[in-house]
Amino acid sequence: MTEKEKQQAGELYNGNDKELIADRATAKKLCMEYNAITYNDYQKKERVLDRLLALKGENTWIEANFFCDYGYNIIMGDNFYSNHNLVILDCADVVFGDNVFIGPNCGFYTASHPIDAEQRNSGLEYAKPIKIGSNVWIGGNVCVMPGVTIGDNTVIGGGSVVTKDIPSGVVAAGNPCKVIRPITEEDKMK
DSSP category for residue 15? T
* Interior/surface letters 101-140, b for 16+ CB within 10 angstroms, e for the rest: ebbebbbbbbbbeeeeeeeeeeebbbbbbbbbbbbbbbbb
113 catalytic per annotation = yes
**149 and 172 in contact (C-beta within 8 Å)?**
no
Instruction: Measure the N-to-C terminal CA separation of the chain; round to a whole number of Å.
Output: 58
Q: Is 93 helix (H, G, I), strand (E, B) or coil?
A: coil
Q: Which of 4, 113, 128, 178 is catalytic?
A: 113
Q: At how many degrees (to 10) do helices 18-36 and 42-52 cross?
A: 170
- Active centre residues (catalytic): 113
